Amino acid sequence: MRKPRLHTILFVVLMTILCLPMVQQMSHVFKLKQLDGFTAPVEPVKLSWESFRNQSYQQYVQQYLQQNFGFRNSYIRTYNQFIYTCFHQTTNDNIVIGKQDELYLKQYTDVYTGQTIRNHYGTEDSARAAMRQNVKETLRIIDTLKQFGTDIIVVLAPSKPLIYPEYLPYNIQKGHHPFSIQEEYARFYEQAGVEHINFVPIFRDLKKTAPYPVYTRYGTHWAHSTIPFVADTILQKIASVKGYPMPHIVYADSNLTTHYRNSDKEVESQLNLLFPLRHEQIPMPIFTLTGNGNSRKPNLLVVGDSYYTQLENTDFTKAFGQVDYWKYNETAYSSQPERCGKISHLKRYETITEADVILVIFTDMHAYSYFFGFLNTVEQALKDGPDFNEIDREEVIQDIITRIKASPEWYEEVKKQAKKKKIDLDQCLRNNAEWVFEQEHK
C-alpha cells in the first residue's frame, strides 16, 4: 500500500510544479518584484487565416508567452544570480563589471575608449570642428538672452570611468582614448568666456581627500554624499555670475547608512539578481541652506540629464524662486502644473525669458547631442513669441490638416496609412499633422 501512496504523492507534487507557472500566469497569486529596466511589449497580432498562414500569429503567441509565463521574474533573477556568483558575469550588455565588483555602464566606458567619439564624429578633428561651432552658437544665444537678464551656466558633470579608471577591466583600461570631449569643451569655454563649471578635475581632487567614495560601487551618478558639495559649488558660481550673494550649503548630519538610495545602487538594480549585493556604509548627508543675504531669489531653469535629479528634491531648490527642470529638453517638471509636460506643448518663451539663470548639465556621454537641442529650442521659442500657446498649436495643426487635404499625393498616402493601421481617417490625419507640428517646432 505504501508504493501507490508514494506514487500518488509524487504525481501530485510533479503536477503542481508543472501547473503552478500556468496558474501564476493567469492569476498572479504570488506578488513578485518587478525586473529593473524596460522590455518592449509584444505587438498583438489578430488571429486570422492570413496571420495563421504566414505564421505571424504563432510568432506573436510565442513571444507573448516568453514575456509573460508564470514566475518569469524569479527564473530570470535566479539565472542572473548563478552566472554572477559563479562566473562574475551578467546578462545585461549595458553593464561592465570591473575590479572589486565596481559596476559601470557601457555608455560611459564607450566614451572612455573613444568609441562614442568615433561613432558620432569619426575623427578628433571633426569633433573639434563641431565643438567650435557649438560654442559659437552658444555665445550667440547667450548674447540674445542677455537682453532678458538671463545667464547661461554650463555644468560639465563627471563620469565614473573618468574618476575611477583604476577599477575598470584591463581591456578597457588598455583601450583608453586620451581625447576627452569634456576637457575640450572646458578649454573652448575658457577661451570664449562661457560661464561653466568643470566637475571632472574637481572630483579627481575631491577623490584624494574625501573619506568616502565620490561614486558608489554600484552607482553611475555622483554619490549622494557629494551632493552638498556639488550644490554649494553651483550656488557660489551663480553668485559670481549674477553679482549678488547666494546661500551656502551646511552639513547637518552625515547620516551613515547601508540603506542605499536608488541613485547609489542603480546599476546593481539593473543586474536583476536574486539577492542584494553587500553594501558598505556610506553617508546620506542631511544639509540645509544658510546665509542668504539676497532678498530676491533668482528663477532657475535647468536643462540637463539625470545628473540633476539628485539635486531636485533637496534644499538646493529653496535658494530659488521658480524652478523648472527640462529633462533632456523633452519633458518639463515644475511646481506649476501649467509648466509641466512635453516641452514643445508649453509656453517656452515665458519659462526661458523669466529665468534669471539657465543651468545646462551634461556628461561626456551626452556631449554629442549638444545641450540636448536646447539652443534650437531657444531660437524657436523667441521666434514664436510670448503669445504662442496650445490654442495656437491647435490652429497650426488644423492648418496642417488643410495642407494635407490640399495635396493629392499626401492625402492619398494618409488614406493608405489609415487603411493599413485600421484607424479612422480623421484620426490618421491628426496624427500626421501632430507629427509635422512636432518636427517644425523642435
Residue 150 has a pLDDT of 97
Distance CA 28, CA 22 (A): 9
Whether the CB-CB separation of 160 and 204 falls below 8 Å is answered with: no
Q: Which of 31, 41, 91 is nearest to 68 (CA)?
A: 41
Distance CA 114, CA 109 (A): 9
pTM over 0.85: no
Q: How confident is the model at residue 390 (pLDDT cuts 50, 70, 90)?
A: low
Phi, psi of 361 (to 5 degrees): -115, 125
Say which range, 5-9, 99-103, 374-378, has the weakest mean pLDDT. Answer: 5-9
Phi, psi of 95 (to 5 degrees): -115, 135
Q: Look over the chain and give the mean of its residue pLDDT values, rounded to a whole number.
A: 88
Domain ranges of the chain: 34-69, 95-387, 391-440
pLDDT above 80 for 90: yes
Average pLDDT over residues 154-159: 97
Average pLDDT over residues 287-291: 84
Cell 519633458 belongs to 331
Q: How many helices (H) and strands (E) does the chain have?
A: 19, 13
Amino acid at 433: A
Residue 441 has a pLDDT of 63
pLDDT of 235-255, one tens digit each?
999 999 999 899 999 887 778
Whether the CB-CB separation of 112 and 173 falls below 8 Å is answered with: no
pLDDT above 90 for 419: no
Whether the CB-CB separation of 390 and 274 falls below 8 Å is answered with: no
Say which range, 61-70, 116-125, 130-139, 318-327, has the weakest mean pLDDT. Answer: 61-70
pLDDT above 90 for 373: yes
Residue 49 has a pLDDT of 85
Say which range, 38-52, 270-284, 300-314, 366-380, has the weakest mean pLDDT. Answer: 38-52
Distances 425 to 44, 90, 404, 412, 436 between C-alpha atoms, Å = 22, 47, 12, 11, 17
Whether the CB-CB separation of 323 and 334 falls below 8 Å is answered with: yes
Residue 165 cell numbers, joined: 579608471
Distance CA 317, CA 428 (A): 43
Q: How confident is the model at residue 442 (pLDDT cuts 50, 70, 90)?
A: low
Whether the CB-CB separation of 99 and 165 falls below 8 Å is answered with: no
Is the model more confident about 28 or about 354?
Answer: 354
Is the model more confident about 245 or about 5?
Answer: 245
pLDDT above 70 for 2: no
